[in-house]
Structure 1
Amino acid sequence: MSQILTFLGKGGTGRSTLTVAVARAAAQQGRRVLLVGHQPGPGLEMLLGGIPLSGEPVTIAANLSVVQLRTTQLLEQYWTAAKELEAQYVRTPFFREIYGQELGVLPGMDQALALEALRRYDASGQYDCILYDGPGDLTTLRAFGIPEVASWYWRRASKAFLGSDLAKTLRPFAEPLLRSVSTVEFSSLEDLSNRLGGMTNIFEQGRQAIADPRRVLAHLVTTPDPMAVQTARYLWGSAQMVGLTVGGLWVVPLVTGEVSAADFSPLPVRILPRRQGSDWSALEEAVGGIFAAPEVPPPVAIDEGSRTVKLFLPGFSKAQIELSQSGPELTITAGDQRRNLFLPPSLAGRQVSGAKFQEPFLVISFG
């Protein structure tokens, strides 16, 4: 089991340089490190001294391996795996004549495939830490939010369909048809949904990993430029909306000016030294302790005794936050992010009695 670390911030703030410095420092400390590049262009190869990278991990130093994710290659691999599953569970496969090399990349597919690659490298047990050098923006956060969003769609969509008039109409025809093409034994559509419930377990495992800073952790990167600072604050709040803990802020002095620590309280704010040519020693020394679990508020805290749910939402104003309730679920919208919280049994049957935004916390009470 690895710890996955990524950096969030505006492009051009030095995120990739910081990622490489952390990877080098961790490897020198004896950790088994995988540096995962997922940005277009040769930037990562140049930072590594021109070492050519591929879609498979390459060892470039003691304890340090690097891989450059390529979406088309990942798509081919996972399409082949999907066809094998189809052949295993479906008597007459539909997609056997479609090959991964023929498929184009749809919008959003990059991040979903990257998340699955990170999950696979984590499950391999070969690495103590995985450094993800991705886009570092809202698309990265949407990728880390996939387990929670997908579990909501799976739970709500299957329930809605099975209870619909359409399902009742199709049931006399659909059940015999599905039995004829499936190798899975089931008695009804509800039973088939339960047998496929392993998907729910996968989503839940992913959700729990994202919520645990000992498993997945992010740090913010900015320069003193006001636009970069505001972008970092926005990404900080957006990270909380997917349940991802942010452990600190790193200021890269590429331009003159200062960053107010008060704007990022209670995050630790650290200023990075400049890299001098090929000498990484100052940067490697500066990033010590970056993997430690931070002393910051969790994205969500549920207190069943006081019947409250407390969300940590830095970077947002009261006007940007909306709240709604549907049965045992709460939906919180902040900025361009939406989060669905499944309430524990003690709160699931209760209605929201009040919500108060005390920056940067949203406190929701139940009657």
Structure 2
Amino acid sequence: MPPRTIIYTGKGGVGKTSVALATARRCARSGLRTLVISTDPAHNLADALERDVANRPTPCGRRLYARQVEAQEEIEQHWEAVQRWLVNLLADRGLDRIAAEELTVPPGMDELFALLAIKEHYESGEFDCLIVDCAPTGETLRLLSFPDAAGWWLEKVLPLERKLVAAARPLARTLLDVPLPDDPVFEEVERLVRGLGELAGILRDRSTTSVRLVLNPERIVVREAMRTYTYLNLYGFPVDAVVANRVLPPEAGGDYFAPWRALQSEQLDLVREAFAPLPVLEAPHFPREVVGTRMIDRLADALFDGTEAHAVLHDGARPELSDDGDEPVLRLPLPLAARGDIKVRKVGLELVVRVGPHKRTVVLPDSLAGWAPAGARFDQGQLEIRFRRRETALAQAR
């Protein structure tokens, strides 16, 4: 049976690591063999646990393991052929080999390999629960959207490029003195891209995977979380809860804290209204830093009072393609989106949906090859796109 997978993300500094560890310890106490894994380059698991955590599952208690993914080690293991070819290419052009090695890992590649560690443990069968402490929101969204783009590149570009390189290799050796990539390089790239596609399937499996948004009840943080919720729905990743962390308790006394409590109360009301019907789990601002197992367990008790930490806490709306009379209709949930930020276009059997700076390419079934979008409507957080047969749409356009 696949492991229950819970991914925590949110703005930097909101307490994702503490919440992830609290969830993991509660899952382990429930009898589940649990791994908490950090894919954030700024690892904090070891600091919060007050013990060493390696780039492999490290025992941290009964049925509990932790891992801080060291991306450089992952790159050396999975990117060796590509890196070797690039280093040789740059060195042949006169660049110092040390500098060449630094240039052979594109920005973001380290975080990407860290994310693939989720797939590794998901498929291993070693654990009942995977709790993921992700990078801050912006980086997480960029990485979570990458599998879709990578799948398109694998299907459309890589086969053609491989054929062209194979044909050009003898000419390049003879005339250009340029080492073109060989089969191991292409195979390594294909493995990476296929792995990303499989990871996307894992992350969208609502029966096993959930994303939880961590926020503090502060205006800027809440607004970023609201945008993130929209984008996660755009990519089809199921969100089952919001965690409101560091809520000032009523006993935080004195006139100094009164304005902060009032501001937090206002923002909590907004969170409950905006994210409904998602459950909002609340944790107080403790008088001590959440470091060490005692404080982490206090946080777990506050968050999951009467709730199973590993449960699917909400099963929301999902993308749906259905027939409405004689016209197919695609419905995409985009909660909290603004109508003016949404743009839609169809290219062949691909529907490109853009919301603000983020876009998703939805591959349509072959049965819609002869259909064209006849109109789109956005209402109550749901985008509805209707299709008509191409000849009918063209006749009506005339």
Q: TM-score, normalised by structure 2?
A: 0.75
Percent pairwise identity: 24
**What residue number does 1:215 align with?**
208
Q: Which residue of 1 aligns with 2:34?
A: 33
Given that residues 351 and 363 in structure 2 are in contact (C-alpha distance below 8 angstroms), is that contact kept between their aligned partners in structure 1?
Answer: yes
Match of 1:352 in 2: 373
Higher helix share: 2
Superimposed CA distance per residue, residues 326-358 of structure 1 (whole angstroms, 9 cap, x where no aligned partner)? 111100011221100111122232000010011
Structure 1 residues 276 and 64: CA distance shift in structure 2, 3 A: farther
CA distance in 2, matches of 1:135, 1:224: 20
2: distance between equivalents of 1:352 and 1:67? Answer: 47
Equivalent AA in structure 2 for residue 310 of structure 1: R
Is contact 2:10–2:215 with CA below 8 Å preserved after alignment?
A: yes
Q: Does 1:314 align with 2:335?
A: yes
Instruction: Show the counterpart of 1:284.
Output: 300
**Using a 3 Å threshold, how does the CA distance of structure 1 residues 296 and 229 change in structure 2: closer, same or farther?**
same
Q: How far apart are 1:274 and its partner, in Å?
A: 4.3
Shift of the alpha carbon at 1:141? Answer: 2.1
Give TM-score scaled by structure 1 length.
0.81
Q: 1:17 is aligned with what amino acid?
A: S
Once the two structures are TM-superposed, the CA of residue 268 in structure 1 deviates from its matched residue by: 1.4
**1:7·1:136 contact (CA, 8 Å) conserved in 2?**
no
Q: Which amino acid aligns with 1:151?
A: G
1:117 to 1:103, Cα distance in 2 relative to 1, 3 A:
farther
| CA apart distance, 1:202 | 4.6
CA contact (8 A) 2:232 2:239 kept: yes
Question: How many residue pairs are counted as aligned between the two chains?
Answer: 343
1:57-111: per-residue Cα shift (whole Å, max 9, x none)? Answer: 2101011111112222221222347789x9xxxxxx999x999x95564311122
* 1:76-95 equivalence runs, <5 A: 76-80=76-80
Question: Highest CA radius of gyration, 1 or 2?
Answer: 2
Q: Which residue of 2 aligns with 1:296?
A: 316
- AA in 2 matched with 1:296: G
Contact in 2 for aligned 1:251/1:269 (Cα 8 Å): yes
- Equivalent residue for 2:69? 69
SS in structure 2 opposite 1:291? coil
Mean Cα deviation higher: 72-81 or 240-249: 72-81
Task: Note the 1:147-296 alignment, pairs <5 A.
Answer: 147-158=147-158, 202=195, 204-252=197-245, 253-254=247-248, 256=261, 257-258=264-265, 259=268, 260=270, 261-275=272-286, 277=288, 278-285=294-301, 286-287=303-304, 288-293=307-312, 294-296=314-316
- Specify the code of the residue in structure 1 equivalent to 2:378: F
Q: Distance between the aligned counterparts of 2:171 and 2:22, measured in 1?
A: 59
Change (3 A) 1:262 1:366: same
Q: Report the AA paired with residue 133 of structure 1.
A: D
Distance 1:280 1:33, change over 3 A: same
CA distance in 1, matches of 2:223, 2:183: 54
Instruction: Give SS of 2:148's match.
Output: helix
* Inter-CA distance 35–200: structure 2 relative to 1 (3 Å threshold): closer
* Structure 1 residue 273 displacement after superposition: 3.6
CA distance in 2, matches of 1:220, 1:346: 37
C-alpha distance 327-42 of structure 1, shift in aligned 2 (>3 A) = closer
Q: For residues 216-264 of structure 1, give each alpha carbon's deviation from its aligned partner in whole angstroms, at most 9, with x where no partner exists.
A: 3101111221111101101111112222111111112155222221111
Mapped partners of 1:171, 1:73: distance in 2? 31
Retained in 1: the 8 A contact 2:27–2:310? no
Change (3 A) 1:310 1:37: same
Summarize the Cα distance change of 1:276–1:343 in structure 2 as closer, same or farther, 3 Å threshold: same
Coordinate RMSD, CA, aligned:
3.6
Amino acid at match of 2:120: R
Q: Distance in 2 between matches of 1:108 and 1:83?
A: 15
2:4 corresponding residue in structure 1: 3
- Residues 42, 292 of structure 1: CA spacing in aligned structure 2 closer, same or farther, 3 A cutoff? closer
> Is the 1:328–1:349 contact (alpha carbons within 8 Å) kept by the matching residues of 2?
no
SS at match of 1:114: helix
Residue matched to 1:118: 118
Deviation at 1:304, TM superposition (A): 4.3
Any idea what the Cα deviations from partners look like across 1:183-218, whole Å, max 9, x if unmatched? 89xxxxxxxx9xx98888655533322221233310
Contact 1:313 1:361 in 2 (8 A): yes
1:340 aligns with 2:361: yes
Structure 1, unaligned runs of 5 or more: 87-92, 185-192
Cα gap change, 1:108 to 1:40, in 2 (>3 Å) = closer
1:248–1:268: 8 Å Cα contact kept in structure 2? yes
Distance change in 2, residues 1:172/1:222 (3 Å): closer
What's the secondary structure of 1:220's corresponding residue? strand
Q: Is the 8 A contact 1:273 1:282 kept in 2?
A: no
Cα distance change, pair 47–276 in 1 and its aligned pair in 2 (3 A) = farther
Partners of 2:344 and 2:374 lie apart in 1 by 12
Distance 1:238 1:73 in 2: 31
Report the counterpart of residue 393 of structure 2 in structure 1: none
Q: Given that residues 327 and 349 in structure 1 are in contact (C-alpha distance below 8 angstroms), is that contact kept between their aligned partners in structure 2?
A: no
Q: Give 5+ residue unaligned stretches, structure 2.
A: 173-180, 249-259, 289-293, 389-398
8 Å CA contact 1:317, 1:359 repeated in 2: no
Contact (CA 8 Å) 1:329, 1:348: kept in 2 or not? no
Cα separation, 1, equivalents of 2:193 and 2:61:
39
Aligned residue type for 2:237? L
What is the CA distance between 1:137 and its match in structure 2?
0.6
**Which 10-residue stretch deviates more, 74-83 or 288-297?**
74-83
Shift of 1:42: 6.1
